Amino acid sequence: MSGPVCALCGTPAPAPFRAPQPEIAPDLDMRPGEPARSTLRDWIAVCRTCGAAAPDLAALPEAARPVVASDEYRMLSTTVLEETLPFRRWALICERTGDSAQRAEALLQAAWAADDAAAMTEASRLRTEVATLWDGTTDTELGLRRLDVLRRAGQFDAAAAWAAELGQRGPDELARTIIGFQTARIAERDVGRHLISAALPPPAHTPHVAHNKRATTGFWSRLLRK
Ligand SMILES: [Zn+2]
C-alpha cells in the first residue's frame, strides 16, 4: 500500500484537505462561509518529520527543500503566533519559490487564523502585508478583496484612496455596489467582517445567494461576470 508522501522527506502525508461546500456567503475578502470557514486549521498540512507545511505535501517542489531547512523557516515557530504558524511557513515557501499569488493567499489565511485567535494586531499586520502584495492589481476580484483587506487592517486613508481608484476604472454594477458598501464602512471606521451578501442589493437582484448550496469560492467570480 502506498499513499501520498512528503515530497521532501518521504514521510507519509495526508491527502490534500477538501473543505466542505460553504452554505453561507463568503466574507468580502472571500473567506468562505460555514461549514468550510471553521475548517481553516486543516487547510495546511505540516510534515511531522521535516516540518514542511503546504496544502499538499506531496506536491512540494524541490526548491522548497532549502527553504524548509533554513534557520529563518525554523525560527518562525518562535516568532509568530502559534495559530498562524502553518500558514506563515507555507507563505515563506511560496515567497522563496517565487509564487507571490499563493504567498498572498497564505498570508491572508494567516490573518483569518489570527482573527479566530482574537489576535487583532497580528491580523492587521498580516492584512497590511497582503495589501502590499496586491498593490496595483488590475484584477477586479483581487482589487475588491484588497479594498476589504485595507479596511480591515484599519488603513482607512489607503482604503479610501484605493476605493477611488477602483471607482475610476469603470466598475460594473456589482463592483460599484461593493465599493459603495466599503466606502460607507470606511467612513464609519469599521474594521469588522461583513458577508458579501450584506453588501449586495436586496434578494430580488441576487436570488438564493445565502441558500445556494452550490455557492462556493467561485461565486464571486460568477457574480462579477453577470
Ligand atoms: Zn517531510
- 31 inside domain: no
Interval 45-55: pLDDT, tens:
999 999 999 99
Whether 151 and 202 map to the same domain: the answer is: yes
Q: Has residue 19 got a pLDDT over 50?
A: yes
Among 118, 133, 148, the domain boundary falls at 133
- 208 inside domain: yes
pLDDT score recorded for residue 226: 36
Write down how long the chain is.
226
CA of 130 to the centre of ligand 1 (A): 27
- 9 inside domain: no
Q: Has residue 202 got a pLDDT over 90?
A: no
Closest listed residue to residue 103, CA positions, set 112, 111, 94: 94
Whether 54 and 124 map to the same domain: the answer is: yes
Q: Has residue 185 got a pLDDT over 80?
A: yes
CA of 50 to the centre of ligand 1 (A): 4
The residue range of the domain holding 76 is 44-133
Please give the tally of structural domains in the chain. 2
- 5 inside domain: no
- Within 10 angstroms of residue 21's Cβ, the number of other Cβ atoms is 13
Residue 209 binned pLDDT confidence (cut-offs 50, 70, 90): very low
Whether 87 and 169 map to the same domain: the answer is: no
Closest listed residue to residue 167, CA positions, set 155, 158, 176, 159: 176
The dihedral over CA atoms of 46, 52, 56, 59, expressed in degrees to the nearest 10, equals -160
Whether 169 and 219 map to the same domain: the answer is: yes
Burial 85-105 (b: 16+ CB within 10 A, else e): bbbbbbbbbbbbbebeebbbb
Whether 124 and 145 map to the same domain: the answer is: no
pLDDT over 70 for what percent of the chain? Answer: 88
Whether 161 and 78 map to the same domain: the answer is: no
Whether 123 and 192 map to the same domain: the answer is: no
Compute the average pLDDT of residues 109-122. Answer: 98
pLDDT score recorded for residue 205: 46
CA of 49 to the centre of ligand 1 (A): 5
Whether 127 and 144 map to the same domain: the answer is: no
Q: Has residue 87 got a pLDDT over 80?
A: yes
Residue 201 binned pLDDT confidence (cut-offs 50, 70, 90): confident
Burial 168-200 (b: 16+ CB within 10 A, else e): eeebeebbebbbebbbebbeeeebeebbbbebb
CA of 17 to the centre of ligand 1 (A): 17
Compute the average pLDDT of residues 60-74. Answer: 98
Three-state SS annotation for 153-170: CCCHHHHHHHHHHHHCCC
Among 133, 166, 193, the domain boundary falls at 133
Whether 55 and 128 map to the same domain: the answer is: yes
pLDDT score recorded for residue 2: 79
Compute the average pLDDT of residues 180-205. Answer: 89
Query: What is the Cα–Cα distance from 126 to 159, expressed in whole angstroms?
Result: 16
**Which of 20-24, 161-165, 169-173, 211-215 holds the top average pLDDT?**
161-165
**Helix, strand, coil percent content, the chain, rounded in steps of 5:** 55, 5, 45
CA of 4 to the centre of ligand 1 (A): 11
Whether 151 and 197 map to the same domain: the answer is: yes
- Helix or strand holding residue 46 (H, E): strand 45-46
pLDDT score recorded for residue 68: 98
Q: Has residue 176 got a pLDDT over 60?
A: yes
Among 101, 133, 165, the domain boundary falls at 133
CA of 212 to the centre of ligand 1 (A): 39
Closest listed residue to residue 109, CA positions, set 92, 131, 87: 87
Compute the average pLDDT of residues 65-78. Answer: 97
- 70 inside domain: yes
Compute the average pLDDT of residues 116-143. Answer: 97
- 3 inside domain: no
- 16 inside domain: no
- 21 inside domain: no
Residue 75 exposed, middle or buried by CB count within 10 Å (0-12, 13-18, 19+): exposed
**CA distances to 56, 164, 185 from 99, in Å:** 15, 29, 32
